[in-house]
Structure 1
Amino acid sequence: MFKKNLYLLLFLLNICCAFAQEYSEAWTAYFSYNQITALAEANDKIFAAAQNSVFSYDLNTNETQLYSTIQGLSGEAISAIHFSGATGILFVGYTSGLIDVVLPDESVTTLVAIRDKPAILPSEKTINSFDEYNNTLYIATSFGISLFDLSRLEFDDSYFIGNNGARLNIKQTAIFEEYIYAASPNGGLRRALAADDNLIDFQNWETLDPTGWEGIQTFGNALWGVKSNQSLQRFDGANFNAQTTLDRLPVSFLASEDALTISLDSQILIYDASGNLTTTVAALADYPGSYTSAFTSQGQIYLGTDANGLLISSTANTTTALQVLP
């Protein structure tokens, strides 16, 4: 009798443990995809990075696909993502300096070169953003700029462009006309000729403005940037002109073919190539919380949030949104 009761007790305990584990895993998955840190557009898909994983949303089938440690990602804190339309490769950057390369066959290669640089402090290794140009991926980091060759799938040079070759926090880079521009909160706006074979020499970089810059994007026929004083600037190749002053610094600043999208934590501002504010997305009553990132493409607005996953709204009606969670 005692043995029967013992077996029954063990059986019930196993059921409870299994249920608790399944519930815990489901609960963890639910939360892990609610807080979005970065977005990327990929032909007919949208990639959304959560804290330590990524999911894609197929615009044609409405299906989602997960990318996590199960699929080979590193599982650390994600700071930036980029999809290369030319190669079909997804790049996932981390605050540690790691970069996961998700190939078209969905195999994953982890690049450790930045993380393992011994002369750079861990706090300076964050991958801030990616910018693709002429088969080269420009990687803006908290120490400078690293180049990744998309043909050979390997790192090229790293640029330390601070004063006297010091490390410098670069938030974004952009190619405009024949120059590469780099925006730095503590080093201003700097540029160099993109075709120069010796950009590793800091003396080949000039400082256009020594005051802080938070972001830089090429959009339309101009270069656009946000300064640390919250002003939106437009550069036509000769001069910078202030377009407006934002209420606060943006949490993301992204250009697509048809719109420049500025994400504030409580609203989204969308500009056309002439600098006109065409659309404003306020906080959505059905999805309380803050925005973390956004971009606009073909009239659709893709919103990353801190608690509601990916939201999809439109320039035609900004009061409603479709919520996407895996």
Structure 2
Amino acid sequence: MQIDELFKRKKMRKNLLVWMILLCACTQIQASNEWTAHMSYYDVTKSIYANDRIYALASGSVFYYTPEKGIYTMSKSTGLSDVNILYFVYNKDLARFIIVYSNYNIDILETDDKVINIPQYKNSSVQDKTVNNVSVVGNNAYLSTNFGVVVVNMELCEFSNTYDIGKKVTSIACTEDCIFAMTEEGVYAGLRKLNLLDKNNWKLLTGSQNFMLLNFNEDIYAFKNDGLYSFDEADGTLQTLKSGNYVSVNPNGDKLVLCGPSEFVTMDADGVFKSYPLNSDYIWASWDGTSFWANHPEDGIQYVTNENDVLQIKDEPIKVSAPVRNLCYKLSYTKDNRLLVAGGSLNYVALFNPATIMAYDKNGWTHFEDDEVGDKIGRRFVNVTGIAQDPNDDTHHYISAACCGLYEYKDGKFVRLYDCDNSPIMTIRPKTISQNYRFYGWTTAVTYDKEGNLWFMNNQVDTVLHIIKPDGQWLSYYFPEIAGYPTFDNIYFDSRGWVWINHRRKTSEHKPGIFCLNYNGTVDDTSDDVHRFQSNFDGADDINQVYCVVEDKDGIMWIGTSQGPFIIRDPRTFFDAITNFEQIIVPRNDGTDYGDYLLSGVAITDIAIDGGNRKWFATAGNGVYLVSADGLTTIHHFTKENSPLLSNTVYSIAINGESGEVFFGTEAGLISYKSDATNPEPTLNAHNLKAYPNPVRPEYNGNVTVTGFTYDCEVKVVTVGGQLVYKGTSVGGTFTWNCRTNTGKRAASGVYYIIGYDDSGNKAATTKVLVMK
């Protein structure tokens, strides 16, 4: 019986009303060429052979592999509707997958990569949406939930029935006549001919047993770690079919596959078992008709051939070059265009994030040693808060962490720990009051200056600022106005060489604010230092977080706070008695003189300045904003609802100035956006100009991008005959043309010259593009 028919009955129970929103209304998702999700595919937990591809569920994401085309990763940027996949189940009859995400959004994925979203369950008013398992039988997917059974018609991409049986269901199997639901009390059976919306029509078939129900070849089986059992549909009794120590069962097409530490076992449609000895620690195996595809959580997918009933491991495991975890709390770019990722937190987001240290460049991802470090130091290694690369040695790094001290690395391997026992680093809890005193040496904001000095903060102790000089000498600075402050986050060096440090959090004894130090370029001589801590933001007494401070290309300091962005227009006034922390007023342009403060009340967690002096704002719950150089115009506002952005909570932003790619570290993982601004060249030179795509083919409808211009360069597009087609201004070093004339028409086929002009208006650099209509 369909749900919409059932709701016509006036005497239905109130709790059934929530299922009205589960009536169809599906959405087809489109991929985006501007966005690239950098998800973790490290921990492979499931593999499925389908459509001549091997699919994998790994770290909550999906990828597939074909020998001809290699690895293809799937994510929100390629068309999936969400992040963090819990269940990925294949329907062989329909050649479709059902995907259930951790927020209980649902996608139907076809083998041509088309995605159809079914969001109604996620958006329903059901209080507890927990899904414990997903079973596929015929055209339907059966969701085992904490209240009963939800049925999804995978052919029509709609919810067909929902049965609230008042029990937590952990697995489901079906016949044409009956649905069997495993619960903590035992197996409940519901005859389809009865009204199964009435929970009284679900009968307890057998008492409590801990096993998983599954369908294979029109029969029902039970799986436990000690083997596979037949299931009697009449009385729920079990009969042992295959005993052994197995970690998973996979009803894989025409074979059911059991995976154990010493063997793979298949069962065919006639119930005949075949054992393939193999000593391994695989946790899952799929059968492709002749061979196995097996996976281990940290070693990718392994092709295992069957040669005369003897298994042979072939080739290298299939692995994706990707982040080891979806943790990206702090991002930064090095001068050689290497993205550094620290995946911990300063105890704001998670108490004990696994130590995650990664780097990304044109060669892919590098994972620094992490799990083994805890064993080496005899303590937990968690909450990495920053990573700094030695400007004189790109294989040498320092890692700050909200635990134990400062970590030194060489070639991605741990070298030594500096803590309260062997360095000036101090601990929050002295040895006299805590046996774990070493753990409380909290460091943050690790950063190199242009002279090669390493700066970092040692939070919540008297002497909070330390420096390690290139020769290894340590310097420690005591500032009474910030002694004991607990949450310093970032160190930023401006164009003057001044040091700006934000104190993040308001406590009962400490204020959020900005500390600035002018050390006059002499780290060894403090006699000429000028420093001040400011926490009074004009007209904004309710600020409880100051997240960041950066300088734009006009020398203005931009500050991210819990109440929006503030600026210091003239940073020299910071050391005066009163500093003007100003908010940008954006005119309403409604015929009045009224305006509104830029992003007032929006928590700005990070700010990055692109090559065009535009500002990218990360926020705590509102996605990301791109505003013009003066802050008066919002160019983009990306959210997870209107873009592939993974989450509206964004911790950090880093920009590759050479390519214009903008990276966002979110609570759900890392994603990048191909922006239209790059770092400008100091002078105009035709050798610097690069245009792409070139040629522009008839089917291409995007922009032509030309990089290599100077800042705010005047650019003209002209025909071979010198006729002006289009003109504009570069954003930083990048100019974009939509292949249309000033009248909006598609440019005719031919060669077009793209000319940059210097400040005097003289032609200075030219490149050309071929347009094919």
Q: If the length of structure 1 is used for normalisation, what is the TM-score?
A: 0.71
Q: Which has the larger displacement, 254-263 or 219-228? A: 219-228
Report Cα offsets for 1:72-99 as digits up to 9, x if no partner.
3255332211233454433221233222
Moved more, 302-311 or 204-213: 204-213
Map 1:41-56 to 2 at 5 A.
41-56=49-64
Which residue, out of 198, 202, 207, partners 2:199?
202
Equivalent position of 1:179 in the other structure: 178
Q: Distance in 2 between matches of 1:44 and 1:83?
A: 13
Q: Decide which of 84, 90, 97 is 1:83's aligned counterpart.
A: 90
What's the CA shift for 1:226? 1.8
Look up the equivalent residue of 1:179 and give its one-letter code.
Answer: C
Of 277, 282, 301, the residue aligned with 2:292 is 301
How far residue 237 of structure 1 moved from its aligned partner, in angstroms, is 5.0
Give yes or no for the alignment of 1:73 onto 2:80: yes
Greater helix proportion: 1
Residue pair 1:42, 1:84 contacting (<8 A) in 2 also? no
**Alignment gaps of 5+ in structure 1:** 1-24, 285-289
Q: Give 3-state SS (helix, strand or coil) of 1:203's partner.
A: helix
Q: Distance in 2 between matches of 1:292 and 1:95?
A: 22
Match of 2:188 among 175, 182, 190: 190
Q: Say whether residues 1:100 and 2:107 are aligned partners.
A: yes
Identify the match of residue 149 of structure 2 among 145, 149, 157.
145
Per-residue deviation at 1:50? Answer: 1.1
- Amino acid corresponding to residue 72 of structure 1 in structure 2: G
- Distance in 1 (CA, whole Å) between partners of 2:168 and 2:177 is 22
Single out whichever of 147-156 and 234-243 deviates more from structure 2. 234-243
Assess, with a 3 A threshold, how the Cα gap between structure 1 residues 85 and 98 changes in structure 2: closer, same or farther: same
Question: What amino acid sits opposite 1:115 in the alignment?
Answer: K
d(CA) in 1 for partners of 2:162, 2:66 = 35
Moved more, 302-311 or 104-113: 104-113
Aligned with 1:115: secondary structure? helix
- Asked whether the 8 Å contact 1:168–1:187 carries over to 2, the reply is no
The 3-state SS of whatever aligns with 1:40 is strand
For the residue of structure 1 that corresponds to 2:122, the secondary structure is coil
Equivalent positions of 1:1-326 (< 5 A) are 32-58=40-66, 61=68, 63-103=70-110, 106-121=113-128, 125-126=130-131, 128-133=133-138, 135-161=139-165, 166-171=166-171, 173-176=172-175, 178-184=177-183, 186-193=184-191, 195-196=192-193, 198-220=195-217, 222-227=219-224, 230-235=226-231, 237=233, 240-247=238-245, 250-264=246-260, 268-273=264-269, 277-284=273-280, 290-315=281-306, 316-322=309-315, 323-326=317-320
SS class of match (1:170): strand
Counterpart of 1:11? Answer: none
Q: Which residue identity lines up with residue 170 of structure 1 in the other structure? A: T
User: d(CA) in 2 for partners of 1:187 and 1:325?
Assistant: 42
Q: Secondary structure at the match of 2:287?
A: strand
Is contact 2:90-2:136 (8 Å) kept? no
Retained in 2: the 8 A contact 1:149–1:156? yes
Distance in 2 (CA, whole Å) between partners of 1:102 and 1:220 is 23
Given that 1:120 and 1:143 are in contact with CA atoms closer than 8 Å, whether structure 2 keeps it comes out as: no
Q: Relative to 1, partners in 2 of residues 1:43 and 1:109: Cα closer, same or farther, differing over 3 Å? A: closer
Pairs aligned (count): 280
1-side partners of 2:54 and 2:161: how far apart? Answer: 30
- Find the aligned partners of 1:91 and 1:170 in 2 and give their Cα distance: 18
Q: CA RMSD in A?
A: 3.3
> RCO higher in 1 or 2 (8 Å CA, sep ≥ 6)?
1
CA 1:275–1:136: 2 relative to 1, 3 Å: closer
Q: Over alpha carbons, which structure has the higher Rg?
A: 2
Quick check: 1:80–1:129 contact (8 Å CA) kept in 2?
yes
What per-residue deviation string (whole Å, max 9, x for no partner) do you get for residues 126-167 of structure 1? 35223131x322223344321112343211222233xxxx13
Report the 3-state secondary structure (helix = DSSP H, G, I; strand = E; otherwise coil) of the residue aligned with 2:156.
coil
Distance 1:110 1:98 in 2: 8
Task: State the secondary structure of the residue aligned to 2:103.
Answer: coil
Distance 2:257 2:111 in 1: 28
Letter in 2 for 1:178: D
Q: Is the 8 A contact 2:116 2:157 kept in 1?
A: no
Distance 1:98 1:189 in 2: 27
Q: For the Cα contact (< 8 Å) 1:271–1:279, is it kept in 2? A: no
**Equivalent residues of 1:291, 1:304 under 8 A apart:** yes
